[in-house]
Chain A
Amino acid sequence: AQSVTQLGSHVSVSEGALVLLRCNYSSSVPPYLFWYVQYPNQGLQLLLKYTTGATLVKGINGFEAEFKKSETSFHLTKPSAHMSDAAEYFCAVSEPSGYSTLTFGKGTMLLVSP
């Protein structure tokens, strides 16, 4: 069984500061990993994903994440926060074979102050 833990239900940063959202997973096989963003009253949008290959993955809006197998982590970072980054972020995991359902973390709300 897979599981995802996102540390911190809320993270507050100042505009221009580093954004770090933490995600740890549990999986019996090397997983596929995803970060989704949800803006208020909207659906989920894919930020980035790791499937195979390079462990540092770049996504949209300046975000990136690094897959660290030894730490079972997939933390999301952005060097400089912007007000428009305020949203809820979800980490998710799936198995790579056939159809595998997505297992989501509980989400982290990112608050950006001026």
Chain B
Amino acid sequence: NAGVTQTPKFQVLKTGQSMTLQCAQDMNHEYMSWYRQDPGMGLRLIHYSVGAGITDQGEVPNGYNVSRSTTEDFPLRLLSAAPSQTSVYFCASRGSTAGTDTQYFGPGTRLTVL
């Protein structure tokens, strides 16, 4: 199993550009989440999904869109990038049955917005 994969690893954008951060998992997990990590702030939840076709907002959703058309994939879209979105982004997944409460994290995407 590859676990949780994220692409790209690094990205530089100009203000106003759009892009999609890709996330995929091969563990057949129902639950997937996107977090951003900023120095001194820990990880903050952007959006999450409890299954294909179902998404919801987290703590810091503004400026981001998500969709979940398959169990495996959960892309994060930046509609119009802003310097405040410079961050490291992590995707995570976990199972939905009892005893599968551990979230597994991808390696992250480091995004810089100029």
Apart from A43-B107, A44-B90, A44-B92, what are 13 other A-B pairs with CB-CB below 8 Å?
A4-B42, A42-B107, A43-B4, A43-B108, A44-B105, A45-B105, A46-B102, A92-B43, A99-B30, A101-B33, A102-B43, A106-B40, A106-B42
Chain A nearest Cβ from B78, distance in angstroms: 20
**Which residues 62-92 of A have a CB within 8 angstroms of B?**
90, 92
- How extensive is the interface on chain A, given as a class? 20 to 34
Q: Which residues of A contact B105 (CB under 8 A)?
A: 36, 43-45
**Overall SS of chain B's interface:** strand
Question: In terms of DSSP, what is the predominant structure of the interface of chain A?
Answer: strand
Residues facing A in B28-72 (CB within 8 A) are 30-31, 33, 35, 40-45, 48, 50, 58
- Check B31 against A99 for contact (C-beta < 8 Å): yes
- B20 contacts chain A at the CB level, 8 A cutoff: no
